[in-house]
Chains A and B, each alone.
Chain A
């Protein structure tokens, strides 16, 4: 597993990463999210050994990534943003070169290169110069280069940047399959700005803001935790008693406020905002509708999305930072 223990990194007065601790487990795809300047890239650079933290330590399956970092780097595969490579080399040449930077794998380098080419669907492009490939293929070459030595830790920085929708879907499936390695499960850390991609690819989501981890959990867990304030949607058939029904909705214990969402000659829709997480208002709303004799057409709770979770976490982090600054 990957253990990040209380790492901090400052650039002058700016605390890029402040006392971050994180454990990444094999077989799990973790998505690292955050707005620009959140500290994601700095954290990734420290995990990959490209940057030394001011404080704290990072270990990859027990190997320190900074002191005597050779063993840690042997089990690390890293795809930097924009998948840099050498445009004059062919795909096979580049992957062979990359494999030579690592100890020879059990099955031999040629077999490892072949496996990486097949895993990333590069067979048809293997003899092409990388500079002549499309952005999508270059991204796959970068991923194949990160995979060629069968690493136990895979760090992918914006792996789907510049890909078209079908390529994104293929890349997503590939990344999910990579968590299950050929010999042992892998740790996969994926940094991305594309929330639906993280939503559909990752088992776990870590949200950073202001250099700190602000949320960490499974997607379902985070959504549930942030669904507390999600509104109930109530649609009723338009009739004489609807006005009184709407007034009494606001009087139900646990309702913060009621706001009209849509209204036409046949139907009126309201959003009922609960005062807290514990308030399941569906039964009192139903009872109220029965009492007023109005016909319910819809009664549901709007589920939170990762985007809402993200916005909520980032906004509350910004508000906290402002309070601290004041």
Chain B
């Protein structure tokens, strides 16, 4: 556990020491501000962040792969994976540490956007429930996307390939499940619907925090992190 935390700390710190970390943060805040001013601060509109969150859920499919692409791919390219893999840190600790560092970075990127609900609260009386649920949905979706990205980062030493592979997979997972839910006969439509992250996010947007959704996102995240650990383990067998 201490090894995973050490790796997570190093990972988080490194995001703020490389241009990519600052570019992602700046992009995150810039687009957040535009979304907020366009959709939430317009006179006469409901005091809600729903459209802000909807836009962010789409943008996360690009932002999360940009954060995750370097996690293990860069270690492999630079050769630092060798001293790491020969240390007592297990494959699960390495994958979990990398993942936690990326999640912490995403949460830190989100933190400044809390100023937007603060502005809303100072100007009107918005329903706080959907705002809290929206942030929770954003973090859970980000966690799932980062876990998918971690797996692709473990599969290649090219950050570009990891980035593209993650985006393609996220599109396939999301669009595939949504489209399948619309066209498949019963009971397969329910299965596809249950796998769709978009369907679950709609509940978060309404301010509904369903434990099943939380378990789903955490389960998906854990599964992909463990798959990344398995990829690292398989490297020893090659």
**Residues of chain A having any CB pair with chain B under 8 Å:** 48-52, 66, 70, 73-74, 76, 78-80, 82, 84-86, 88-89, 97-98, 100-103, 142, 145-146
Q: A88–B17 Cα gap in the complex (Å)?
A: 6
Contact of A73 among B10, B18, B87 (CB under 8 A): B87
Interface contact B86-A78, CB-CB below 8 Å: yes
Number of A-B contacts (CB under 8 A): 68
Interface contact A84-B82, CB-CB below 8 Å: yes
B123 contacts partner chain A, Cβ-Cβ < 8 Å: no
A50-B236, A51-B236, A101-B3 are contacts. A85–B80 as well, Cβ < 8 Å?
A: yes
B183 contacts partner chain A, Cβ-Cβ < 8 Å: no
Interface contact A146-B83, CB-CB below 8 Å: yes
Interface contact A86-B83, CB-CB below 8 Å: no
Q: Considering the complex, which residues of chain B in the window 73-89 have a beta carbon less than 8 Å from any beta carbon of chain A?
A: 78-80, 82-89
Interface contact B82-A102, CB-CB below 8 Å: no
CB distance from A8 to the nearest CB of B (A): 14
Q: A244–B88 Cα gap in the complex (Å)?
A: 72
On chain A, the residues within 8 Å of B78 by CB distance are 84, 86
Q: A66–B5 Cα gap in the complex (Å)?
A: 24
CB distance from A11 to the nearest CB of B (A): 9
- A interface majority secondary structure: loop
Interface contact B88-A102, CB-CB below 8 Å: yes
Interface contact A101-B6, CB-CB below 8 Å: yes
Contact of A80 among B7, B82, B90, B236 (CB under 8 A): B82
A selection of 6 A-B contacts at a CB cut-off of 8 Å is A50-B236, A73-B88, A84-B83, A89-B14, A101-B3, A102-B88
B58 contacts partner chain A, Cβ-Cβ < 8 Å: no
Task: Across the interface, name the chain B residue whose C-beta is closest to A94.
Answer: B10
On chain A, the residues within 8 Å of B82 by CB distance are 48, 50, 78, 80, 84
B2 contacts partner chain A, Cβ-Cβ < 8 Å: yes
Interface contact B88-A100, CB-CB below 8 Å: no
List 9 A-B pairs, minimum CB-CB distance, nearest first.
Answer: A84-B79, A100-B6, A88-B17, A101-B87, A78-B86, A80-B82, A84-B80, A48-B86, A73-B88
On chain B, the residues within 8 Å of A145 by CB distance are 83
On chain B, the residues within 8 Å of A101 by CB distance are 3, 6-7, 84, 87-89
CB distance from A234 to the nearest CB of B (A): 53
Query: Per-position contact with A for B9-42: 1 when CB-CB < 8 Å, else 0?
Result: 1100010011000000000000000000000000
A73-B87, A101-B6 are contacts. A86–B236 as well, Cβ < 8 Å?
A: no
Interface contact A74-B79, CB-CB below 8 Å: no
A51-B236, A70-B90 are contacts. A82–B79 as well, Cβ < 8 Å?
A: yes
Q: Which of A76, A97, A100 has most B Cβ within 10 Å?
A: A100
On chain A, the residues within 8 Å of B18 by CB distance are 88
On chain B, the residues within 8 Å of A74 by CB distance are 88
Q: A189–B229 Cα gap in the complex (Å)?
A: 29
Interface contact B86-A86, CB-CB below 8 Å: no
Q: A54–B4 Cα gap in the complex (Å)?
A: 30
CB distance from B64 to the nearest CB of A (A): 22
CB distance from B87 to the nearest CB of A (A): 4
Query: Per-position contact with A for B206-228: 1 when CB-CB < 8 Å, else 0?
Result: 00000000000000000000000
Q: A49–B233 Cα gap in the complex (Å)?
A: 11
On chain B, the residues within 8 Å of A142 by CB distance are 83
B125 contacts partner chain A, Cβ-Cβ < 8 Å: no
